Structure 1
């Protein structure tokens, strides 16, 4: 039940941010939209920044980690790119309106999970390479969200897949 409540709060958060903007989104507005008492918010989150982190982590965990055993890794990369593009207005507002949460690093973390699973290694040098590659891809994706003339998400996903394939080929 706790997860369902968090998802309902997160959905309301998403909707309120789109309607009012991140800066003007209050806990009261989120909880009014969710039809919960204001105090319920604090049972799960400290503030809207913690909720933003949870929202991104939960969304990307569903996109990446939950598909590791079901989809080929290039399809997971495409799903990540699609998710970010499909919710471009929300993510752009959250990136532009606040600097407390590093959205790029959150996206990068989930890409690291994918590549770590793909490479099946725990060597420190490999971990550093994976982190830098994933952070670069995540920067490309999050920069595209806020760009005045964004690239098509399919182009970005193909670039990310090509970069990963090239890195894997060099390592093998």
Structure 2
């Protein structure tokens, strides 16, 4: 039940952030939109920024980690790119209207989880920084694409990310 309540709050937040930005979104408005009592919010989150981080993190966990054993990794990259594109207004507002949560780092964390899952165990420890920087670069490219006036197609971005990951994995395998 707790997860369902958190998801309702996250959906309310996403709806409001998309239309108003986070600065003009109050906890009261989030809870009204979610159809929940205001006090319930504080049973789960300290403030709207913690909910924002949880919401993005939860969505990316569902997209990446929950699919590791079901989908081939290039399809997961494609799903991440699609998620960002499908909810473009929410992610743009999340990046542009607040500075408390590093959306790029949240995306990079999940991409790093994916790349780490693909890498041999003995390579992961020695290449953790390289994996992080690769994933941070991919995440920054995805965010930049959301913010640009002439965005590239998400499938094109996914293909570029897959190529970068494949190249890195080959380099890591060679040692």
TM-score range, shorter chain: over 0.9
Residues 127, 172 of structure 2: 8 Å contact kept: no
Q: Which runs of 4+ in 1 moved over 6 A?
A: none
Q: Paired residue for 1:50?
A: 50
Give distance in 2, aligned partners of 1:131 and 1:49: 24
Match of residue 25 from structure 1: 25
1:5 aligns with 2:5: yes
In structure 1, the residue corresponding to 2:15 is in which secondary structure? Answer: helix
Q: TM-score, normalised by structure 2?
A: 0.95
Report the alpha carbon displacement of residue 124 of structure 1 after superposing the two structures with TM: 3.4
Aligned pairs, how many? 172
**Aligned position for 1:34:** 34
Distance 1:131 1:19 in 2: 33
1:144-155 to structure 2, matched below 5 A, reads 144-155=145-156
The answer to whether the aligner puts 1:140 opposite 2:141 as a matched pair is yes
Deviation at 1:65, TM superposition (A): 0.2
Normalised TM-score (structure 1): 0.97
| Structure 1 runs not aligned, ≥5 long | none
Residues 59-68 or 113-122, more deviating: 113-122
Once the two structures are TM-superposed, the CA of residue 159 in structure 1 deviates from its matched residue by 0.3
Counterpart contact for 2:82–2:154, Cα < 8 Å: yes
Q: Please tell me whether the aligned partners of residues 56 and 106 of structure 2 are also in contact (alpha carbons under 8 angstroms).
A: yes
Task: Provide the residue aligned with 2:161 in structure 1.
Answer: 160
Counterpart-to-counterpart distance in 1, 2:120 and 2:104:
24
Q: How far apart in 1 are the matches of 2:92 and 2:19?
A: 13
